[in-house]
Amino acid sequence: MSDDLPSIGRIADREHLFPVRVYYEDTDFTGVVYHATYLRYFERGRSEFLRAMGLPSDREDHGAFAVTRIVVDYRTAGRIHDALVVRTRFTGLRGPRLNFEQQIERTGVVLAEAEIVAVAIHLDGRVRRPSAAE
């Protein structure tokens, strides 16, 4: 693997760990992470989790997902230049629904946590059941 490629994080103890750095663009005018930025961090964590799990990307219908529910609890603020970790844990599959729990932390302190339900879809938006290969 080339050092020039972005990190996809790593799997440890049934969790995916994905590092992110807080940049100025992620904050409000006071240097605090803007609340919607956490949603982007959660999305990156889930996307890289699926990549790390080997989600096939070479098929035409490569496994698109749509978030249908997200519940976020904000605990404390992240700040500019913080090194954060997005923790993603797959908690179950029911039909086309994939359930995830995620946390964003800074040196062991949880900044935000979320419960996410995503639905597997075809590229035209129709719901589908994920295959065992995914």
pLDDT digits (tens, 9 = 90+) for 3-45: 788 889 999 999 999 999 999 999 999 999 999 999 999 999 9
Beta bridge partners of 88: 16, 102
Give the pLDDT of residue 59.
Answer: 53
Give the pLDDT of residue 51.
Answer: 86
The two three-digit tokens of residue 28, written as one number: 């409000």
Catalytic residue, from 3, 4, 13, 28: name it: 28
pLDDT(55) > 80: no
Give the pLDDT of residue 132.
Answer: 57
CB 84 within 8 A of CB 27: no
Cβ partners under 8 Å of residue 24, min gap 6: 31, 80
Per-residue pLDDT tens digits for 113-134: 999 999 988 888 888 877 655 5
Answer yes or no: pTM beyond 0.85.
yes
More reliable by pLDDT, 3 or 55: 3
Calpha distance 35→71 (Å, rounded)? 13
More reliable by pLDDT, 19 or 95: 19
Beta strands 10-12 and 15-21: pairing type?
antiparallel
Give the pLDDT of residue 56.
Answer: 57
28 is catalytic: yes
Average pLDDT taken over every residue of the chain: 89
Give the pLDDT of residue 113.
Answer: 98
Calpha distance 106→76 (Å, rounded)? 10
pLDDT(61) > 80: no
Task: Indicate the range of 19-23, 55-59, 82-86 predicted with least confidence.
Answer: 55-59
